[in-house]
A and B are shown apart, each in its own frame.
Chain A
């Protein structure tokens, strides 16, 4: 309920045509390089997760008794070393990408599907519907994402589906707020009045006019929430509340490796690095897309 949320409404404009042509090479580079890097990283992560059985050199659960807690490269077949059960850290990290990305993408889609219709309804309808929806969103907003996800996962139990549900619900109020603020601007546009004058019903106006016009901005922000979702999943797993071992997820690889940081820091170092790179990839893409959309931050 901080005032900031109302004092600084999200300002998402539409790119002006004709500006592209006047840009120097440096300008283009500045604009597209972060997106390109982010996209390449994100695509690589998705490929890694999708093709884990093909890419991972060894099975993530195979235990090699002759190579317990060996450092990176100490045994030739274990490039990033092994953990306390002699499992290959690299293979576990590659398989762990599946959990992180599945949760990251699915929970954002879930939060989007729950939050956006409610937000558009609130913004377009106004009145008591808006008040009711927004007060509920405010209540959920009182909880930080991790805390809310933690409460829900504790209540439901730590499985992949529950984790997705929990993080999705925790992200929902953010989508409600954003969709409402976009709908508030869009409903004042002439084409909405025109649609109404032509006799379109409320539902049609929302689905055919408000939603498509808000979609671009919503998708951009959703990209940033993928980063939040991945970090939240890793945090839950780290706290031991996520997907239970032996299924590898970056958070629980890191959590298990914590006991061995004295002798074998590679387990935590590489799994943490994987989390950071994944979060960074989606942050880069989301940030750059938002800069492209926000006229205040675009070239002077």
Chain B
């Protein structure tokens, strides 16, 4: 087991290094001088020289690269060109917003997708159940999350006025109250803040969750189909077990193993989804921050955001690989 863990870690480190190199060099081959594009053509020569020095762009590329890697390892991404304060601070403020969006959409996706997939597999080829469900899944898969988001906004925010049009709610306030212990002194205020956050979260989580549910339902359908054709299911049925027990006790648990392996993939897709979802709902978060940073040509901020995205994806994949070994002991013996 230890050997397996070490081997996984050894694979993850060069991957992270490679991915970060891609980010670094992609940002460096950007056409034009970042200082010029940031300050405009009218900037004085002194101001430009100042900016170049501040960003360390006058140093050799190799030095800049080594510096970037060393700083990133300490989660130091320099200062934002526009806002002026450290990128890591900005990321730390945005991360919780993106995290709750990913988690809540994962809950929506699992609650909608897994049951649909199971029912669809058990009622395979039934024209009234399997086919309509598969068509819905295919539509969900083809529907861009930003379009679904806009449709939800049109109906539930603009027409019915049930949910806010923009913003992420007072997440910072709620977290601050938790940290300082104020949440326990004034539970009313805390609950109000949490309610506000949930109110802002509902539509984005539904939009992202539904599009992800389509993938989940297709995967759980094929996982379930694979499992129910196994010998142990036939054995369970031959023993005279109730169909319900066969499905819930034998099939469901084994179906979760292949599903677990796609969590890594899921996180990658969900994080991409947050870029679009946060933009549609004008929600604060890493994805919106990245798009805004690119639009404003704020390179340190964009670089920091992409690095954090990549780190998260590689880290989650690593954790999933480990979890997989725990769930399925055969893995470590290969």
Contacts and interface: CB of A to CB of B under 8 A. Distances in A.
A227 B215 CA distance: 14
Interface stretch (B19-27, B105-113, B176-184, B186-194): B19-27
Contact of B144 (A144, A150, A156, A272): A272
A155 B30 contact: yes
Nearest to A269: B151
A7 interface: yes
Given A7-B261, A151-B26, A238-B146, A142 B154 contact: no
Interface in A91-145: 135-136, 138-140, 142-145
B208 to A, nearest CB: 13
B139 interface: yes
Interface in B9-28: 11-12, 14-16, 18-19, 22-23, 26-27
A262 interface: yes
Contact of A261 (B153, B275, B317): B153
Contact of A284 (B138, B154, B261, B268): B138
B309 A147 contact: yes
B313 interface: yes
B141 interface: yes
Given A4-B258, A235-B144, A261-B158, A151 B22 contact: yes
B235 interface: no
B18 A2 contact: no
Interface string A257-269: 0100110010011
Nearest to B150: A268
A136 B23 CA distance: 14
A149 to B, nearest CB: 10
A54 interface: no
Given A3-B331, A138-B15, A239-B279, A275 B26 contact: no
Interface string B131-165: 00000001101111011001101100010000000
A140 B261 CA distance: 19
A280 B136 CA distance: 11
Interface in B301-326: 302, 306, 309-310, 313-314, 317-318, 320-321, 324
Contacts of B258: 4, 7-8
A90 interface: no
B122 to A, nearest CB: 14
A276 B158 CA distance: 23
B295 interface: yes
B15 A272 contact: no
A229 interface: no
Nearest to B316: A2
A287 interface: yes
Name the residue in B19, B262, B324 with the highest tally of chain A Cβ atoms < 10 Å from its Cβ: B19
A29 to B, nearest CB: 11
A39 B234 CA distance: 39
How many residues of A sit at the interface, in one of the four size bands? 35 or more
B135 to A, nearest CB: 9
B291 interface: yes
A235 B306 contact: no
DSSP majority for the B interface? helix
Interface residues of B, number: 60
B324 A239 contact: no
Contacts of A241: 291, 294
B264 A2 contact: yes
B147 A276 contact: yes
Contact of B302 (A154, A234, A258, A261): A154
B29 A144 contact: no
B271 A150 contact: no
Name the residue in B30, B147, B280, B291 with the highest tally of chain A Cβ atoms < 10 Å from its Cβ: B147
B120 to A, nearest CB: 13
A170 to B, nearest CB: 11
Name the residue in A240, A241, A265, A283 with the highest tally of chain B Cβ atoms < 10 Å from its Cβ: A265
A136 B21 CA distance: 12
Given A138-B15, A276-B143, A2 B29 contact: no
Contacts of B47: none
A157 interface: yes
B269 interface: yes
Given A238-B146, A265-B154, A2 B320 contact: yes
B272 interface: yes
A1 interface: yes
Interface string B84-97: 00000000000000
Contacts of A273: 147
Contacts of B265: 2, 4
Nearest to B297: A154
A282 to B, nearest CB: 9
B214 to A, nearest CB: 10
Contacts of B222: 297
12 contacts: A1-B317, A7-B258, A142-B15, A142-B317, A147-B310, A151-B26, A154-B294, A235-B146, A238-B276, A254-B147, A262-B158, A265-B158
In order of increasing CB-CB distance, the 4 nearest A-B pairs are A272-B147, A4-B261, A139-B18, A280-B142
